[in-house]
Chain A
């Protein structure tokens, strides 16, 4: 039990500090980014009206007080009212969250579904043309700018081939291109990692032993290799999920996908502080939780890291 606390404690602490830092930075940046009041009151409104709105938003109080209020509210999940939507920011963001979750899960699922078999195949057929081609594509996928991939996919698969719609959210056909765009980087990384993890395992003595015993090659790969190569792949894969959230900003903008990434960009232009704070905080929260869970799971799976 003590070992468990010793193992989880520092990790939990680090996660909390990260969360606090993120919220503080968000507060500072958003307060620096100009006065939202002129966006709310008509330009010819009297001074008193201006001051009333500022007071309503708590902007008339000293910054440290605003900060204390902000942190207190964050702890209660209260991010204030959206200036643009005129309802609680949390509710606004929650309204956009399903679209992002759908996109992220689809991107992630697609990435895994393609990358793991491809990586495995590449490793088994090492130095074959298949290996060279897939790894070449993976390298391109890893370095290609997300926004341009999106544009390229729209050009090739919706405008020229007319297979998928160019933008918006609807049936599954709306999901394919954004998911492919968002998942491209993760797909490429996972494929390369799977390949190297499998190659690493194939070098091990127990694989040689299995082969020497006359175990069929397929069984060697599936039973002996896959299980042992899975650990690093699972770790990196889960971490990739966090970075997907950042990529969602660009992908959602390119495909006019109504998720929190696009909401965040629009809210920055609208100077809608509460919504921006809420989206950023939520993304960071998800990322940190995923990181934490992965680290813990990894700790229990891998005997070398496991708490004693």
Chain B
């Protein structure tokens, strides 16, 4: 009766492998914080999607007369520039709004790439064990030992900066955390009786992984993906800052910080606003990941 094999085993198993969160009284608060964090991400996503409609101006429209205008409601070109204009007279607010598209697009896509690779390798390593496990984990250690930004720069220099390259490189830079966590969870899960039972009943490895292991590691996957999203967004901005990410004139937060660098003394707003938005996004997303980890811990869920 394979169908009655408990899909509900997981909770306690995960409890055993995830670190316990602080006292139970904070659970409701944590849930609210997670909701707020996800709300923030949703808001940024909506802004990114709606950029063509809500952005006050065309983000690439240049204006010689309106160059380097300080934040103003009535610029030299007769328009409002709430966050000022840059060295080409482009509206900083509009560029920040459009920049959200790049950040989220690259961030989410990179998380998917890294998650697919990392989860596959991690489950494979944990489930198969043996030399494959050693090989995958050695690879992960080696990559963790590597100042990855150098490799990223090298690869992008070869392939040329483009969205697919950027997504691939950032995704590849983050597979290790998925692999490590999932491996250790699968190791625990595999040794449980229910896995042996399914085996004995003729269940294939693929079925066991898909039906019984994957659902059990899902919550960890979500937590890591959230933390990885923050890291990916920052990495994309860093590469764009170094001139290796999104190329002008496409607005990206990192690229804007770079463009404003020369004018930092006279027109601080060009670099500062996109940078602050980036910093806030990174902070909120990574905190949401932390809160999610606290929340998805079943010792709290069971209250």
A interface residues with partner B (beta carbon < 8 Å): 14, 17-18, 21-22, 25-26, 29-30, 32-34, 139-140, 142-148, 151-152, 154-155, 159, 242, 245-246, 249-250, 253, 264-265, 268-269, 276, 279-280, 283-284, 287-288, 291
Contacts and interface: CB of A to CB of B under 8 A. Distances in A.
Given A21-B138, A284-B147, A250 B242 contact: yes
Contact of A245 (B147, B158, B257): B147
B264 A17 contact: no
Closest 3 CB pairs of A and B: A246-B147, A21-B142, A148-B275
A143 B145 contact: no
A9 to B, nearest CB: 14
B148 A246 contact: yes
Given A151-B261, A151-B275, 15 more contacts: A22-B142, A25-B151, A29-B158, A34-B158, A140-B279, A143-B230, A144-B282, A145-B282, A146-B238, A148-B257, A148-B275, A154-B264, A253-B242, A283-B147, A284-B145
Given A21-B139, A152-B275, A33 B268 contact: no
Contacts, number: 123
Contacts of B148: 246
Contact of A143 (B149, B271, B279): B279
10 contacts: A143-B230, A144-B279, A145-B237, A145-B275, A148-B237, A159-B268, A246-B150, A249-B153, A250-B238, A287-B147
Contacts of A253: 242
A143 B282 contact: yes
A18 B149 contact: no
A126 to B, nearest CB: 12
Interface in B242-281: 242, 254, 257, 261, 264-265, 268, 271-272, 275, 278-279
Contacts of B283: 139-140, 143-144
Contact of B145 (A32, A154, A250, A287): A287
A147 B138 contact: no
B142 A145 contact: no
A21 B150 CA distance: 15
Contact of A264 (B150, B158, B272, B275): B150
A96 to B, nearest CB: 14
A21 B279 CA distance: 34
B138 A14 contact: yes
Contacts of B271: 148, 151, 155
Contact of A284 (B146, B278, B279): B146
Interface string B158-181: 100000000000000000000000
Given A21-B139, A34-B158, A250 B254 contact: no
A216 B234 CA distance: 46
Interface-central residue, B146, B147, B238, B287, by most chain A CB under 10 Å: B147
Contacts of A264: 150, 153
B282 A249 contact: no
B88 interface: no
Contacts of B234: 143, 145
A265 B153 contact: yes
B286 interface: yes
Contacts of B138: 14, 17-18, 21
A40 B279 CA distance: 42
A33 B165 CA distance: 14
Contacts of A25: 146, 151
B50 interface: no
Contacts of A151: 257, 261, 264, 271-272, 275
A291 B158 contact: no
Most chain A C-beta atoms within 10 Å of own C-beta, residue among B148, B264, B278:
B264
B142 A18 contact: yes
A148 B145 contact: no
B157 interface: yes
A142 B286 CA distance: 10
A62 to B, nearest CB: 20
Given A145-B278, A147-B257, A250-B242, A155 B151 contact: no
A40 to B, nearest CB: 17
Given A144-B283, A145-B238, A155 B147 contact: no
